Chain A
Amino acid sequence: MPLFILRRLLITIPTILVVITITWGLIRLAPGNFYTGEKRLPEAIEQNIREKYGLDKPWYEQYRRTMWSIVRHLDFGTSLKYEGQSVNTIIARSLPVSATVGILAYLLALIVGIVVGSIAALKQNSKWDYASMALAMLGISVPNFVLGPILVLIFSLTLYWLPPSRWNGFPSWNLVLPVLTLSGIYMAYIARLTRAGMLEVLRSDYIRTARAKGLSERDVVVKHALRGGLMPVVSFTGPALAFLLTGTVVVERIFALPGLGNYFIQASLNRDEPLIIGIVAFIAITLLLMNLLVDIAYAYLDPRVRY
């Protein structure tokens, strides 16, 4: 096990460097530059800008410099658009927003998804089963940027119950709609996965043994079946994180939240190279570490899994 973790960590580092290199390369290969606009800059000013940002040096020198400051000091430089703000400050400021919405949405999805999925599995082929699975399929099919505005239309613009947008700190009513919008698709996935996993487990021998021992149905389900039945949900955590990232981008745009996703889109539109690279690297690191954690958790939950 420790060997496995070590090996995975050793792969993680070059992977992140490759991601940074790809991002850097994409930005550099694209035509134009961050200062090119509608109006052509005077020669002397362009020269000054190029010198200031080291663009007059050969490309390998620029690449070396960028990578070195990242590897050596974890310093992604200063944003080109938000002047005087380092990439690290922007990430530190916007991360709590994204993380709050993301974690709340995932918790909500876990609770609702597992409960609904278990009920569907226990009452297989009943009305409840069909209704909840059709609803789950609907959840997967409705894009969150359609769901979000419809929720706003209903709860903010028609019923006046909830604020339609903006960030207002952690415990606030502003969080309700973004969290609901973001968790919709996970709820659906988790419900489907729980149902499939539970159905498989409920047919297995050890559940029959548990029943034969005379355990109450509640104990059989909660203590025995859920543990095995939730394995697919655990392994979904990795892909879920990737979804979460794309989801937060949309949700933060709809609800005007100052999160990581919103900054990332702004940076891409502004061609803010250091900020793009910083956010991409941050996301890649989070994703890889989370995947590793999921794999470790998997081994603990299911003793049959060995690395």
Chain B
Amino acid sequence: MNDDDRPLPEPQPPKVEPTPIPGTIPPPVGMLDRDVIHTAPEAAIGEADLRAAEAGEIVQGTSLWKDAWQRLLKNKLAVFGMIVVAIISVATLVGPFIIKWATGLTPDYIPTDAALIKSIPPFTAPDGSFSWTHPMGTDNQGRDILARVLQGGQISLMVGIISTLVSLLIGVSYGATAGYLGGRIDNLMMRLVDVLYSLPYIIIVIVLLSMFRSQTARGQLLLLFAALGSVSWLTMARIVRGQVLSLKNQEFVLAARATGVSTPRIIFRHIVPNTLGPVIVYATLTVPTVMLTEAFLSFLGFGVQPPMASWGSLATDGIQNIAIFPWQLIFPGVTMALTLFSLNFLGDGLRDALDPQMRKF
């Protein structure tokens, strides 16, 4: 037969070298990364994928998360923030152990020699010569400030993260419920948020913390989590509600309802996971805000109680002695500012990466 005479088409071998895409000019050699126009490589990838698909290859699709991750890595400030946050988090976790191993000092070690119970400047030995023992100096009781700053960082970061999780829990449930149920319930729930928005909540938190001041440091910490978490969920609720409103009329929700899924399950299993992008962005930006509020409360004496210490309470202790021992304020203050600075940049970068529409140029 005729057909048998013709040779079978050989399957094309997978291309190793990228061939120039018709219609685009190949980038000149030595072209800098920043010269590439943003949309061009993405469009090129799309076309390459299309051609690869036609050639019968399996295409690895770019997921939302992978795409966002790549966009995040392009943002230098965000990468800087991410690295600093990572370094500081690791340092607060393992730093105290390293210091103990290297110098034998713990954050609350007070020297037994009475002559050492004084504030020593950074990088100085008690006799005034250079020394690596106390890179941030010591406080009035002769405790190593570096060790205290690292341990205080644990508390500060913990307050920031746990309070944010509390606000996440309340805000997401509240916003998703209001948005999904809609109608009169939604109206009522969001009016309540409006009213709460206009309240001087920080003032009420101060009243709460000063009245119920706990006798134990642990109790005060728990109170702080609850108080900070329960006042910072409002924006989160609004954001989630907005997202849910636009999601709830889509087909997958209809399909879930048609198959008899219960309402709470639709909300939390089908809708909430789809709101994750903005939620992550806003949560990242909530952490520094909460940490700042905690520092503010510690400054007023309502925050973390001794023997625990946070960056805020360490800086507050330093204020008393600023004229003579400025390093007692400067090191905790600068460490906290650097952390908040980096977290803010990271949050901004995440917003640009995950939510290009919310992007503020």
Contacts and interface: CB of A to CB of B under 8 A. Distances in A.
A238 B194 CA distance: 12
Contacts of B38: none
B322 A152 contact: yes
A265 interface: yes
A27 B203 contact: no
B208 A26 contact: yes
Contact of A268 (B198, B206, B292): B206
Contacts of A288: 198
Contact of B360 (A143, A152, A196, A246): A196
Interface in B304-319: 312, 315-316, 319
Contacts of A265: 206, 300
Interface residues of B, number: 41
B312 A143 contact: yes
Interface in A104-154: 124, 137-138, 140-143, 145-146, 149-150, 152-153
A146 B315 contact: yes
B337 interface: yes
Nearest to A24: B207
B211 to A, nearest CB: 4
A280 interface: yes
A283 B344 contact: no
Nearest to B332: A146
B17 to A, nearest CB: 35
Contacts of B211: 26-27, 29-30, 268, 271
B207 A146 contact: no
Interface stretch (A15-23, A63-71, A85-93, A215-223): A15-23
Interface string A231-261: 0000000100010011001100110000000
B337 A15 contact: no
A269 interface: yes
B255 interface: no
B250 to A, nearest CB: 29
A74 to B, nearest CB: 18
A283 B204 CA distance: 11
A11 B200 CA distance: 16
Contacts of A141: 288, 337-338, 340-341, 344
A160 B210 CA distance: 37
B142 interface: no
A27 B207 contact: yes
Contacts of B295: 143, 145
B123 interface: no
A149 B319 contact: yes
A249 B360 CA distance: 32
A176 interface: no
Interface in A260-296: 264-265, 268-269, 271, 276, 279-280, 283-284, 287-288, 291
B326 interface: yes
A157 interface: yes
B315 A153 contact: no
B195 A145 contact: no
B198 A146 contact: no
Dominant secondary structure of chain B at its interface with chain A = helix
B207 A143 contact: no
B300 A149 contact: no
A246 B202 contact: yes
Contacts of B212: 26, 30
Dominant secondary structure of chain A at its interface with chain B = helix
B203 A283 contact: yes
A34 to B, nearest CB: 11
Which of A15, A141, A279, A288 has its CB near the most chain B CB atoms (within 10 A)?
A: A141
B199 interface: yes
A268 B302 CA distance: 10
B329 interface: yes
Contacts of B336: 143, 146
A142 B296 CA distance: 11
Interface in A21-47: 22-23, 26-27, 29-30
Contacts of B315: 143, 145-146
A146 B329 contact: yes
Given A23-B204, A143-B296, A287 B199 contact: yes
Interface in B55-71: none
Given A26-B207, A153-B326, A246 B296 contact: yes
A268 B204 contact: no
A199 B361 contact: yes
B333 interface: yes
A268 B210 contact: yes
Given A11-B195, A141-B340, A143-B337, A149 B207 contact: no
A112 to B, nearest CB: 20
A117 to B, nearest CB: 12
A287 B211 CA distance: 23
Given A23-B207, A149-B319, 9 more contacts: A26-B212, A27-B207, A142-B337, A142-B340, A146-B329, A264-B206, A269-B301, A280-B200, A287-B198
Interface of A: 11, 15, 18-19, 22-23, 26-27, 29-30, 124, 137-138, 140-143, 145-146, 149-150, 152-153, 157, 196, 199-200, 238, 242, 245-246, 249-250, 253-254, 264-265, 268-269, 271, 276, 279-280, 283-284, 287-288, 291
9 closest A-B pairs (Cβ-Cβ)? Answer: A30-B211, A146-B333, A141-B340, A141-B341, A268-B210, A196-B360, A199-B361, A145-B299, A142-B337
23 contacts: A19-B199, A19-B200, A23-B207, A30-B212, A137-B344, A137-B345, A138-B341, A142-B337, A143-B333, A143-B336, A145-B295, A145-B299, A145-B316, A146-B329, A146-B333, A146-B337, A150-B333, A157-B322, A250-B300, A265-B206, A268-B206, A283-B200, A283-B203
